[in-house]
Chains A and B, each alone.
Chain A
Amino acid sequence: GEDVEQSLFLSVREGDSSVINCTYTDSSSTYLYWYKQEPGAGLQLLTYIFSNMDMKQDQRLTVLLNKKDKHLSLRIADTQTGDSAIYFCAESPTGNQFYFGTGTSLTVIP
């Protein structure tokens, strides 16, 4: 299977920016995604980026893609306590099957 790696934990102060990093192995992945999982809840699609893009911005979220290094990052500006959750990156070579990272647990300190 594909390998998607993330660091397990990130802690930031409220109001600061959070940057969650992800590396993947399948260079043919067409779609790369970021999902948010709150306690006891399912996965919520935050944003996605096509492999022919370098950057995508959506309100407080900025996704950066470095295809050469197979590195994906999610920046959350002005992080709030409600942003505390587990964030998963995922790659999908076909748009059907997803390969997820281990998830990064983001803790926002008031």
Chain B
Amino acid sequence: GAVVSQHPSWVICKSGTSVKIECRSLDFQATTMFWYRQFPKQSLMLMATSNEGSKATYEQGVEKDKFLINHASLTLSTLTVTSAHPEDSSFYICSARGVGSGNTIYFGEGSWLTVV
């Protein structure tokens, strides 16, 4: 089946720095990618939807200047957490669908971010 890979799986960064998380579709062209965030014992919350070559659409309450999403190619989307703070520590997971995914959405493995 189709594969979506995220990198890094785990990242620790200092407060005030920026960190980038990559989401790649390995064997299909991801025309649409989604970014979610999951806090402990809470559900996954959709942060934003990005279509290749377009600006991302952010969900209400998600700061677009803090969570920069770039979907410049059909196989890669990046989420950059700018000026990270400890409260940004969370599990971030992407999903993708597109040409070759059989109209199914596939999820990445997720990335654990800890801001110290």
Residues of A within 8 A of B (CB): 1, 4, 8, 35, 40-45, 88, 95-103
Check A96–B97 contact: CB distance below 8 A: yes
Could you tell me if B43 and A42 are in contact, using CB atoms closer than 8 angstroms? no
**How far does the Cβ of B27 sit from chain A's closest Cβ, in whole Å?**
16
CB pair B46–A98 under 8 Å, yes or no, is yes
B104 CB–A CB distance under 8 Å: yes
Measured CA separation A108–B91 after assembly (Å): 25
A103 near B107: Cβ-Cβ < 8 Å: no
Residue contact A103 to B49, C-beta cutoff 8 Å: no
Determine if B32 and A42 form an interchain contact, defined as CB atoms under 8 angstroms apart: no
* A88 → chain B closest CB, angstroms: 7
Give a binary string over B87-109; 1 marks a CB under 8 Å from any A CB, 0 the rest: 00000010101000001111111
Set of chain B residues within 8 Å of A99, measured between Cβ atoms: 46
Contacts of A41 in B (CB 8 A): 109-110
Secondary structure class of chain B's binding surface, majority of residues? strand
B34 within 8 A of A: yes
Distance (Å) between the CB of B38 and the closest chain A CB? Answer: 8
Q: How far is the CA of A100 from the CA of B43 in the complex (A)?
A: 6
Contact of A102 among B43, B95, B107, B109 (CB under 8 A): B43
Question: For this complex, into which size category does the number of interface residues on chain B fall?
Answer: 20 to 34
Instruction: Give, as a whole number of angstroms, the nearest-CB distance from A79 to chain B.
Output: 22
Check B34 against A45 for contact (C-beta < 8 Å). no
Q: A96-B32, A96-B97 are in contact. Are A43 and B46 (CB under 8 A)?
A: no
Kindly report which residue of chain A lies nearest to residue B4, judged by CB atoms: A42
Question: Within 8 Å of chain A (Cβ to Cβ): is B44?
Answer: yes
CA distance A95 to B97 in the complex (A): 10
A94–B108 alpha-carbon span in the complex (Å): 20
Please tell me which one of the listed residues A40, A45, A88, A96 contacts residue B43 in the complex, with CB atoms under 8 A apart.
A88
Contacts of B108 in A (CB 8 A): 42
Query: CA A5 – CA B95 in complex, angstroms?
Result: 21
Q: Could you tell me if A102 and B46 are in contact, using CB atoms closer than 8 angstroms?
A: no
Are B43 and A4 in contact, with the CB atoms below 8 A? yes
Decide if B46 touches A42 in the complex (CB within 8 Å): no
